[in-house]
Amino acid sequence: MENKKVLLGMSGGVDSSVSALLLKQQGYEVMGITLELYNNDSCCNQNMHQDAKKVCDLLGIQHITYNAKEEFNKYVIDDFINTYAKCQTPNPCIECNKYIKFGVMYEKAKQIGCDYIATGHYAKIEYSKQFNKWVLKKSNSEKKDQSYVLWSIPKHILEHILFPLADFEQKEEIRKLARSHNLEVADKKDSEDICFIPDGNYKKFLENHSNIKPKSGNIVNSQGKILGKHQGLYNYTIGQRKGLGISNKVPLFVLGLNQKKNEVIVGEESELYKKEIIVSDINLLLVDKIDDWLEVEVKTRYSSNLAKAKIRKEQDQIRVVFYEPQRAITKGQSAVFYIGDIVFGGGKII
């Protein structure tokens, strides 16, 4: 008989709570797990555990907590700090998915005899007859789709992952379902911030938890002309317009950061567009290797639109050539490749 035991990551929010409900309705033997990820005694953090346990109690499923602070610190927080230290812009959710939710949690699931892990992500896992393998796909909800932050999942575990919310198109459908089953979290607000920076002030976090401190330098244009002063490169990201503190006839945007010279380089919007990028730390989900130029669509940040491009493997990196120049491509962010609805793979922009 097929093993129907599933370990579900539960954050105490409505998405993971409804995921528990749906999995139970589908006949799975569900166990909820709440991961302790960082030291934060705020009421939000405590409520997260309590809310997850209440839902499990109501649904009659077991709930456990697991201390993953050491791994979270090593793979997510350290990477966040190191990426800013290199004058790049990180996406901590991608590291968390790779190492924690689909790393640590998957190992825990195997230990306790679960054949599957599940999360409340908006994405799909399906068996593709065309490619003769399990694939990661976009969810039905174009607006909520989270496949972009899942490209780094190890591909050998795809067939062991369940995304119960794959077919939902509206958040309100999920809230309605939660209300109809008396789940107290039905109207709980979505968390928008980085989980370990609940106040959203990443600059203060960096100053308090790393060697990154305010250090004054010049703001220059692309010809090297000094236009003003900055108070630390970590305060800026590519494409930023506000908070530059310089006046100019036409709006200026951050084009780049020169760590050696401690300079913020600014320019007009037309200078923000790039036609080529290089990507490293590659994870290919659909194939084992790329032999020649391949046509794909590419997303260069979570909120950006898909853009047509061709990609080619060059040693352990991938060269991406866009058909139309793309705006504000940012080092440290991910470039995720799609063929139709399927995630082909991805990597980090360098």
For residue range 272-310, what is the model confidence (pLDDT) as tens digits?
A: 999 999 999 999 999 999 999 999 999 999 999 999 999
Cα distance between residue 298 and residue 320, in whole Å:
9
For residue range 126-138, what is the model confidence (pLDDT) as tens digits?
A: 999 999 999 999 9
User: How many residues appear in the chain?
Assistant: 350
Q: Is the model's pLDDT at 208 over the cut of 90?
A: yes
Q: Mean pLDDT over residues 187-204, rounded?
A: 89
Query: Does residue 278 contact residue 291 with C-beta atoms inside 8 Å?
Result: no
Q: In whole angstroms, how far apart are CA 209 and each of 159, 213, 222?
A: 38, 10, 33
pTM, whole model, 2 decimals? 0.95
The number of C-alpha atoms within 13 Å of 18 and in the hemisphere containing its C-beta is 26
pLDDT of residue 2: 60
> Of all residues in the chain, what percent carry a pLDDT higher than 70?
97
Which residues does 35 contact at the CB level (< 8 Å), separation at least 6?
A: 9, 65, 66, 68, 72, 100, 101, 104, 105
Alpha helices in 122-244 (DSSP H): 171-180, 202-209
Q: How confident is the model at residue 41 (pLDDT cuts 50, 70, 90)?
A: low
pLDDT of residue 223: 96
pLDDT of residue 301: 94
Average pLDDT, the chain: 95
Catalytic residue selected from 56, 93, 96, 114? 96
Q: How confident is the model at residue 192 (pLDDT cuts 50, 70, 90)?
A: confident
Query: Does residue 63 contact residue 31 with C-beta atoms inside 8 Å?
Result: yes
Phi-psi region of 90 (alpha: psi -120 to 50; beta: other; left: phi over 0): beta
Catalytic residue selected from 56, 93, 114, 195? 195
Q: Which amino acid is at 222?
A: S
Q: Is the model's pLDDT at 211 over the cut of 60?
A: yes
For residue range 216-268, what is the model confidence (pLDDT) as tens digits?
A: 999 999 999 999 999 999 999 999 999 999 999 999 999 999 999 999 999 99
Domains of the chain with bracketed CATH: 5-187 (3.40.50.620), 214-267 (2.30.30.280), 273-349 (2.40.30.10)
43 given a catalytic annotation: no
pLDDT of residue 43: 46
For residue range 73-113, what is the model confidence (pLDDT) as tens digits?
A: 999 999 999 999 999 999 999 999 999 999 999 999 999 99
Cα distance between residue 215 and residue 219, in whole Å:
13
pLDDT of residue 1: 38
96 given a catalytic annotation: yes
Q: Is 60 exposed, middle or buried (0-12, 13-18, 19+ CB in 10 A)?
A: exposed
Query: Does residue 44 contact residue 22 with C-beta atoms inside 8 Å?
Result: no
- What φ, ψ does residue 255 adopt, rounded to 5°? -100, -30
Q: In whole angstroms, how far apart are CA 44 and each of 11, 21, 47, 306?
A: 11, 23, 5, 35
DSSP 61-92: -EEEEEE-HHHHIIIIIHHHHHHHHTT----H
